[in-house]
Structure 1
């Protein structure tokens, strides 16, 4: 919460009604990175009807009605924010809120643009002091003449002498002293402008920037990969060979259905090169071959030999 933002919203905002309540809610969340309250939170601060709507029962119609009331409250809060934007008191950055979420899930970022006017006394109460730039009498007429000096009866009052200055003052009148002050001030300003050289200031700033850049340049390391360096040359990285599809052997063709049936029949017979008593003791004729992979005998010969033996 920013106390300064709240004070500006309370004392110097031109907004009225619900728009001002929304502004106070934004100021309540204001910090160093701005303010990013949810739209429903602003609707809660302004007291818009339906911001806390809940379904009366578990039916889809009740849930839809409650959702619509909450959306209407959020819509009213957005309308209040648009009024604050039109007054120039708030800047809105869409989806500029918390950076730890996806962009479509971020809240808006609000920045308060209010500032104290020139007539504000900058106190905790932010009092407005009227500024009077006129030099004339505020009542609109010259002041009344003061009391005249009393003289003895029968004598007229003495006129002030023009040959001598008034008693208690120097020989310079007030008007002449003010003129001398203005002349001395203007002379000092003129001498100050004469001593100011823009080209010299720009050159000095450029020299300082170059010195700062030179101080922050990274240290140059020796390239040890070049020939003739103090250390041994770094071997180049191993480049794997490129894949050549032509190097892959072609897939063996699958035999005809008749040959595959013959292979399956041969696989059920005992192989002289087999081992054990399980599947390892029988012929092994895959679907892509025509003979046994163990003994090399053709499947047709295996079956024919069985028929001859029988």
Structure 2
């Protein structure tokens, strides 16, 4: 059972060794993860809406068919293998004093924390979970926050962390922070725009933690693990466009107009004067609470930055237009 990344590693090596493999994934697993896993020769079964449901079904298949079950995180050998990430990071950058690592079931952080705390190293290890799936946070802090919802970080959307990993996290991890969906989106976008690196939501969780608490990490030499780049192109496009909207480089403005000839032309002149590119227009005459002679115009536009957008809205209001911005969550 896997949310997608463990599945690909297992499928690749099983096929390389001539061993048939069956992977159970949640039904909402991104298509790119399913295709990549099948491309490595695995038989993929989609079951349930969460990793935990897929995991339960995989154990049923194990009992029914006599399969050998390879746990995605709660196995000492898997933990040891994932811990080699930290070995490589410290070999390349020995001065690291902080590791920020995503937590799903806890295998990756357990292995990395073991390395970080060995040989007398004084490295702080911070775990990161999505706010919608604070399962390890609950286990360590003895809280009961709900786990569920549509998170961008489906790769770490685990409701029940491992028994072995929970004990290791309690013993070795210094803190666990929770990050919002907005921070996850921002991190995916920044990594692509600045680092030219495609990272999925779970892989961007470490950067999201830094963005959420910059003062906490100021002056530290921080290593973050980008633990996966399996994100559907369509979803990635949505994330990038939403980030453009939040930064003020794209906007949807709702403008109240009078339904008369030339009204659209006059408002478009203001956009032209300020060099604002109009991407899409949408009129609404019927389903509106405006008078019969009024209409609502939605204008999707492209600006240089937030200041440019503010100047556009100021110009529209000075021309006596009633205008508001359609905000994102």
TM interval, shorter chain, is under 0.3
TM-score, scaled to structure 2: 0.18
- Give TM-score, length-normalised by structure 1: 0.19
In terms of fraction of residues, the more strand-rich structure is 2
- The structure with the largest alpha-carbon Rg is 1
Q: Please identify which structure carries the higher helix content.
A: 2
Q: Greater relative contact order (Cα 8 A, min sep 6): structure 1 or 2?
A: 2
